[in-house]
Chain A
Amino acid sequence: MSTYHLTLPISEEDVRTLKVGDTVFLSGVMTTGRDAAHKYMIETFIEPSSPVPESEQPIYEALKNVLHEGVIYHCGPVVRQRSDGGWAFVAAGPTTSIREEVYEPQVIEHFGLRGVIGKGGMGPDTLRACQEHGAVYFHAVGGAASLIADAVKEVVAVHKKEAFGVPEAFWVIRVVDFPVVVTMDTHGRSIHDEVEAASKAALRRLTVGE
């Protein structure tokens, strides 16, 4: 278990050196995105039923810019609007990631993501996408919202706030030393799978006694 300080964007070589259990402090620009954001990215950009509408092109460019070799953070923050009209993060812990399992592999592939930050881990499809495309799952501490908000130094932009609401918008943020633990790596290991398997054996012992 090692500790790394990484600056976004992250190279494929760097991400492939990470192993489950490593502590990482991330710095640079990333975006939040959760349920509505993932559905939108798939339906509008990745598997569109019609060409990407003119109105959505600027967001597409902005997302490509921040997500390429970048990370997406599963988070619906509490924000405060400053008197100059800009925004500040007040509380910003991770949300449960597994809801994005149906979307994430395509998002990783399409945008060239190097990481997903969230909590609770993700499933086999995301783990496979991490191996194939060079990405990891970074686990943030669930509920540590004020602590993580302290690492968010600036809100660079916000997209889709009116349509999706504050928690579900894309908040593009600049962070310094955002603390995470690698729980799914490019080598096919997932702490979540390992803990689940061990706890299942324990459950059997405690219920049927074998």
Chain B
Amino acid sequence: MNDLTESFVELIRRAATDLPSDVESALRQARDREDAGSAAEGALDAVLENVAIARENSTPICQDTGVPIFYVYLGAQADESTRRSLKRQMEAAVAEATERSYLRPNAVDPITGRNSGNNLGRGFPTFHFEALDEEGEADGGEVLRVELLLKGGGSENVGAQYKLPFAGGDATAPFDAGRDLDGVRKVVLDAVYRAQGKGCAPGVLGIAIGGDRGSGYVHAKEQLFRPLNDINPDPALAELEGALLRDANALDIGPMGFGGKTTLFGVKIGAYHRLPACYFVSIAYNCWALRRATMTVRGSAGSPQEEVSFR
């Protein structure tokens, strides 16, 4: 494979500065639903104006450019050395993107308190390596797909993981939640209530039911890559996504927590098989600035026909 460092810088630039069109159009619809002259409408007007300025000037949509989370899908030809060299190129791209002010230096050593200055550190950024599915590889001629999520700290702080059954039933959480989809619905609403405006509402939730504590959060974040208007292939989850969107918006927390009609503009749920003893609900809260971008490499790797595209 050719050196892709510069393409990875472009992937980062796009994610940081160019909000995906499905997200922008959902925000525009949310803006039109709020009462004229309300603080909620004013906040969404500022959001939309900001999105336009960031795109025009190639400056970060939000100064908290977050943890870069790379999901790397490799074709069958990739071996261990490909993987190592891709990782090195992505790290170089992250440092370069920081230098070009597409990213804020965000990697802080928890022991010394020092910021590394270039977004590189132990376990920073985050990489997940997976295999491309065979169909995509055969049909689309894909040899590599890299999905990037820039996830800010404010919204990361309001994410939550619940263990069902969840015994609330007190003033803090007025309900009990059992080991079923209605229990899932209740704890997710609890998380949205606790987040208030602090995760930069209106937000999008990526949710994983099941898995273990680690795989649950990873799968929850994967949901954030789904287009906002897609329909969950599992009818039970599709129904739950709709119910949660409706119920969360009935909390009237609204943009920035000012009160208003849109608290969430997307709920995406995945499910992993779970252990008999465990029933986790992992919730990744994303702020309105859902910064995701995808880069695809097609053709025969390393050859002159190799083609890199972004969306």
Residues of A within 8 A of B (CB): 1, 21, 23, 36, 75-80, 90-93, 95-96, 98, 119-121, 139, 141-150, 164-168, 179, 181, 183, 191-192, 194-196, 198-200, 202-204, 206-208
Closest Cβ–Cβ distance, residue B158 to chain A (whole Å): 9
Closest Cβ–Cβ distance, residue B275 to chain A (whole Å): 26
Residues of B within 8 A of A (CB): 37, 39, 42-43, 46-47, 49-50, 53-54, 57, 59-65, 101, 103-106, 108, 113-115, 117, 152-154, 157, 174-175, 186, 189-190, 193, 196-198, 200, 247, 250-254, 256-259, 287-289
Are B46 and A147 touching (Cβ within 8 A)?
yes
Are B65 and A199 touching (Cβ within 8 A)?
no
- Summed over the interface, the residue pairs from A and B with CB atoms below 8 Å come to a total of 174
A207 to B248, CA, bound (A): 11
In the complex, chain A residues whose CB is within 8 Å of the CB of B106: 167
Are B198 and A202 touching (Cβ within 8 A)?
no
Are B259 and A191 touching (Cβ within 8 A)?
yes
Q: A93-B63, A167-B105, A196-B196 are in contact. List 10 more A-B contacts (CB 8 A).
A: A141-B43, A141-B50, A142-B256, A145-B54, A145-B63, A146-B53, A166-B104, A181-B39, A191-B39, A192-B257
Are B197 and A192 touching (Cβ within 8 A)?
yes
B61, B103, B250: the one within 8 Å of A143 (CB): B61
A120, A146, A181, A204: the one within 8 Å of B198 (CB): A120
Of B61, B63, B196, chain A has the most CB atoms within 10 Å of the CB of B63
Are B50 and A146 touching (Cβ within 8 A)?
yes
Are A166 and B105 touching (Cβ within 8 A)?
yes
In the complex, chain B residues whose CB is within 8 Å of the CB of A168: 115
Closest Cβ–Cβ distance, residue A173 to chain B (whole Å): 13
A16 to B62, CA, bound (A): 32
Q: What are 12 A-B residue pairs whose CB atoms fall within 8 Å in the complex?
A: A1-B37, A23-B42, A76-B104, A143-B47, A143-B61, A143-B152, A144-B47, A145-B50, A145-B60, A146-B60, A149-B59, A199-B253
A78, A121, A147, A207: the one within 8 Å of B197 (CB): A121
Are A92 and B251 touching (Cβ within 8 A)?
no
Are A90 and B174 touching (Cβ within 8 A)?
no
Are B154 and A142 touching (Cβ within 8 A)?
yes
Interface SS, A side:
mixed
A23, A79, A92, A150: the one within 8 Å of B53 (CB): A150
With contacts A120-B197, A183-B258 taken as known, whether A78 is within 8 angstroms of B252 at the C-beta atoms is no
With contacts A181-B42, A191-B258 taken as known, whether A141 is within 8 angstroms of B252 at the C-beta atoms is no
Closest Cβ–Cβ distance, residue A87 to chain B (whole Å): 11
Are A119 and B197 touching (Cβ within 8 A)?
yes
Are B193 and A203 touching (Cβ within 8 A)?
yes
Are B50 and A202 touching (Cβ within 8 A)?
no
Closest Cβ–Cβ distance, residue A30 to chain B (whole Å): 16
Are B60 and A90 touching (Cβ within 8 A)?
yes
In the complex, chain A residues whose CB is within 8 Å of the CB of B49: 144, 147
A198 to B108, CA, bound (A): 37
A70 to B247, CA, bound (A): 41
In the complex, chain A residues whose CB is within 8 Å of the CB of B43: 141, 181
With contacts A119-B256, A179-B46 taken as known, whether A208 is within 8 angstroms of B287 at the C-beta atoms is no
Are B50 and A192 touching (Cβ within 8 A)?
no
Are A207 and B196 touching (Cβ within 8 A)?
no
Are A143 and B200 touching (Cβ within 8 A)?
yes
A183 — nearest CB in chain B belongs to which residue? B258
Closest Cβ–Cβ distance, residue B60 to chain A (whole Å): 4
In the complex, chain A residues whose CB is within 8 Å of the CB of B256: 119, 139, 141-142
Closest Cβ–Cβ distance, residue A43 to chain B (whole Å): 13
With contacts A119-B256, A141-B50 taken as known, whether A146 is within 8 angstroms of B57 at the C-beta atoms is yes
Closest Cβ–Cβ distance, residue A75 to chain B (whole Å): 7
A1 to B258, CA, bound (A): 14
A206 to B246, CA, bound (A): 11
Are B39 and A203 touching (Cβ within 8 A)?
no
Are B63 and A165 touching (Cβ within 8 A)?
no
Of B101, B104, B189, chain A has the most CB atoms within 10 Å of the CB of B104
A66 to B33, CA, bound (A): 41
Are A206 and B189 touching (Cβ within 8 A)?
yes
Of A23, A95, A165, chain B has the most CB atoms within 10 Å of the CB of A165
Closest Cβ–Cβ distance, residue A160 to chain B (whole Å): 12
